[in-house]
């Protein structure tokens, strides 16, 4: 029987929200993450992830869960498993024990979808017929590689752009990412793909990394790697920044407002915690405003890191407002989301809807409550997805935050994580989110609509010149107009 395990913290990098991890114990309210449709099923919840971002392999057109962000290369918020052949030829020799093992895992997965899938009509599919089709193909004999590819294909046929299947190896890789273990050989950056301008925009630079030593900074763009464009005919060339330890890579880099320059960097092992950029800014009226860039809720340490950032910013003087830059937060685990919300509000924040049942969600309890009345501005954009959208939308719905930026794509289906008996894993859409005060709003369809629409391309501005940040500073001064600064 499939085992629905509850990650220590996660549903964190199950990328990542789409990443759809599960919620932690929230006081008297039943933990939202555990939906017990069947006594044996107690999945971790993840919110479907979306956001076209790149990072070292991090994570419907909203991209759902992608493989974890690993600093150093591009990531696309939607996990798009490799296309599988329409027919998989039987292996020459049939191993009855292998077939029995594969059929066991298949039945676990098929039954989970049958019992727990968000849409009772399976998006128009005949799930019984699909089960019979794949059962026969597996019984004919196939390699493990073809078997896992078949399961990916079967889940993709649901067509919700979020549900996804991971082989045991892929599941283990995501576990490492969720635990904040960034360990690879490269240059030490997290990037977002800007396809229309054929570049990778740097979101984060890891402390002590080769990239930091070479002077690379957030908002810089990587135009080419060793003379090769970062976007090829088949899409992003995600692994260009990685290589052997000690190897040299030559980048064409551009800082906003400056001409491109060549940078030579020696690759080495990057083993560091995900950084959380923060700064104290001054508004035109002289107010002290904090700024925190939140790249994901996939890392199970993020909520604690946000608390540390708030303490550090406050230590330098009382804050009169806070900007939370959520423009590339593609989601993650529900416990991380709720714990982060707990810094800024308390009590109910919304609900999960599953099979017409409502599960009330409450902000996590934080020992520090002094920020719950701090004026907030949250920045959003097309790269905001999943629990990143819920974070901004819930605080807006509660009247706790003013939202600036661009409308999001709409990606708030919640994925439950199901661990299967062989170590493989499925993220299956089992519920959706509804805001507390406006439960009639369907954010999956509308996305999050900002209070003020401000376009600002990450790679065209620095923190000091970013139109969205400047608008936020004007908001705190009470001088904001309905035009970009």
CATH classification code of 182-272: 2.30.42.10
Superfamily (CATH) of domain 278-415+431-477: 2-enoyl-CoA Hydratase; Chain A, domain 1 (3.90.226.10)
3 state SS of 400: coil
* Residue whose pair of structure tokens reads 């906003």 in the numeric block: 256
Answering whether pTM is above 0.85, one says no
Sign of CA dihedral 272, 7, 135, 123: negative
Domain borders along the chain are 96-160, 182-272, 278-415+431-477
* 292: nearest Cα among 407, 189, 204: 204
For 310-374, give the DSSP string. HHHHHHTS--SEEEEE-TT---EEHHHHHHHHTTT--SEEEEEEETTEEEEEEPPP-S--TTTTS
- CA gap 397, 420 in Å, rounded: 37
Output b/e per residue, 11-48; b: 16+ Cβ within 10 A.
bbbbbbbbbbbbbbebeeeebbbbbebeeebbbbbbbb
Secondary structure in 3-state letters for 206-239? CCCCHHHHCCCCCCCEEEEECCEECEECCEECCC
* Residue whose pair of structure tokens reads 């919620």 in the numeric block: 23
For residues 404, 408, 413 and 414, what is the CA-based torsion angle, rounded to 10 degrees? -50
* Residue whose pair of structure tokens reads 């089709």 in the numeric block: 133
Please give the backbone phi and psi of residue 278, each rounded to the nearest 5 degrees, phi first: -145, 155
Half-sphere exposure of residue 477: CA atoms within 13 angstroms, side-chain side: 17
* 314: nearest Cα among 288, 344, 339, 345: 288
Asked if 331 and 20 count as a contact pair (C-beta separation under 8 A), the reply is yes
> Mind listing the pLDDT tens digit of every residue in the chain (485 residues)?
443 332 322 233 233 233 333 222 222 223 333 222 222 333 445 444 333 333 332 223 333 333 233 333 232 333 334 444 444 444 446 789 999 999 999 999 999 999 999 988 999 999 999 999 999 999 999 999 999 999 999 999 999 888 999 999 999 888 876 665 555 789 999 999 998 899 999 999 999 999 999 999 999 999 999 999 998 776 677 678 888 999 999 999 999 999 999 999 999 998 888 899 999 999 999 999 999 999 999 888 999 999 999 999 999 999 999 999 999 999 988 999 999 999 999 999 999 988 768 899 999 988 878 999 999 999 999 999 999 999 999 999 999 999 999 999 998 988 889 999 999 999 999 999 999 999 999 999 999 999 999 999 999 999 999 999 999 999 999 988 765 44
């Amino acid at each position: 029987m499939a085992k629905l395990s509850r990650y220590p913290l996660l549903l964190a990098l199950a990328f990542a929200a789409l990443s759809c991890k599960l919620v932690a114990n929230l006081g008297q309210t039943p933990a939202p993450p555990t939906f017990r449709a069947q006594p044996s099923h107690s999945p971790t919840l993840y919110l479907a992830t979306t956001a076209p971002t790149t990072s070292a392999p991090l994570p419907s057109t909203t991209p759902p869960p992608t493989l974890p962000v690993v600093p150093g290369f591009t990531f696309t918020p939607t996990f798009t498993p490799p296309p599988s052949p329409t027919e998989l030829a039987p292996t020459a020799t049939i191993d009855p024990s292998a077939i029995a093992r594969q059929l066991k895992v298949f039945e676990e997965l098929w039954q989970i979808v049958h019992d727990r899938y968000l849409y009772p009509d399976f998006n128009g599919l005949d799930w019984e017929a699909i089960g019979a089709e794949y059962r026969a193909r597996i019984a004919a004999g196939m390699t493990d590689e073809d078997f896992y590819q078949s399961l990916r294909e079967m889940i993709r046929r649901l067509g919700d752009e979020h549900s996804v299947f991971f082989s045991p190896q892929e599941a283990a890789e995501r576990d490492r990412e969720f635990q904040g273990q960034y360990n690879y050989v490269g240059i030490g950056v997290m990037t977002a793909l800007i396809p229309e301008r054929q570049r990778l925009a740097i979101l984060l630079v890891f402390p002590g990394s080769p990239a930091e030593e070479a002077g690379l900074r957030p908002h810089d763009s990587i135009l080419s790697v060793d003379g090769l464009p970062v976007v090829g005919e088949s899409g992003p060339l995600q692994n260009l920044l990685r290589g052997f330890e000690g190897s040299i890579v030559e980048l064409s880099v551009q800082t906003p407002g400056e001409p491109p320059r060549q940078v030579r960097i020696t690759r080495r092992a990057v083993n560091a915690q995900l950084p959380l950029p923060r700064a104290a800014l001054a508004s035109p009226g002289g107010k002290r405003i904090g700024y925190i860039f939140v790249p994901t809720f996939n890392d199970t340490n993020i909520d604690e890191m946000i608390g540390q950032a708030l303490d550090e910013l406050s230590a330098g003087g009382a804050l009169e407002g806070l900007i939370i830059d959520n423009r590339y937060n593609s989601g993650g685990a529900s416990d991380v989301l709720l714990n982060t919300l707990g810094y800024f509000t308390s009590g109910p924040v919304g609900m999960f809807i599953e099979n017409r049942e409502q599960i009330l969600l409450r902000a996590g309890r934080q020992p520090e409550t002094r920020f719950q009345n701090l004026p907030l501005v949250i920045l959003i954009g097309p790269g905001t997805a999943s629990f990143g959208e819920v974070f901004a939308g819930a605080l807006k719905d509660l009247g706790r935050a003013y939202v600036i930026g661009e409308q999001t794509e709409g990606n708030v289906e919640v994925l439950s994580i199901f661990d299967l008996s062989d170590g493989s894993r499925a993220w299956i859409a089992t519920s959706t989110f509804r805001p507390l005060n406006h439960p009639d709003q369907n954010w999956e369809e509308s996305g999050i609509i900002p209070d003020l629409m401000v376009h600002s391309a990450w790679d065209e501005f620095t923190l000091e010149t970013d139109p969205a940040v400047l608008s936020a500073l004007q908001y705190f001064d009470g001088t904001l107009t309905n035009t970009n600064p």
